[in-house]
Amino acid sequence: MQVCRVYIGSFNGIKPIREDINPQCKPLFEKEQGDLLADLHEIPVRSCDRKVTQVMHAYTTCSLDLCRSDFLHCGARMQT
């Protein structure tokens, strides 16, 4: 399970970030914005990976169920 991440930033698109009030804000907001955009671009890749994993899990589970049922039916035939 993946931990949720909270991004910080300034949603004021009209006025620029005032560096005179807090000089650490602008680089931090820019870094967070870059991280957010990178994570947004990775969503399709992660989605595809998750789908492949789900298909492989379903295939493996189905294969094991078929093997188990064949084994049980074969054992039942041998006992009779």
Q: How far is 29 from 16, CA to CA, in rounded Å?
A: 12
The pLDDT score that the predictor gives to residue 20 is 83
**pLDDT, tens digit only, all 80 positions of the chain:** 667 888 887 666 677 777 788 788 888 888 888 898 898 888 887 777 778 888 888 878 877 666 666 666 665 555 55
Q: How far is 42 from 40, CA to CA, in rounded Å?
A: 5
Q: How far is 72 from 66, CA to CA, in rounded Å?
A: 10
Cα–Cα distances (Å) from 12 to 16, 18, 24, 36, in that order, read: 7, 11, 17, 17
The pLDDT score that the predictor gives to residue 70 is 63
> What is the maximal distance between C-alpha atoms in the chain?
88
The pLDDT score that the predictor gives to residue 53 is 82
User: pTM score > 0.85 for this model?
Assistant: no
Q: Provide the token pair at 4.
A: 């949720």
The pLDDT score that the predictor gives to residue 72 is 61
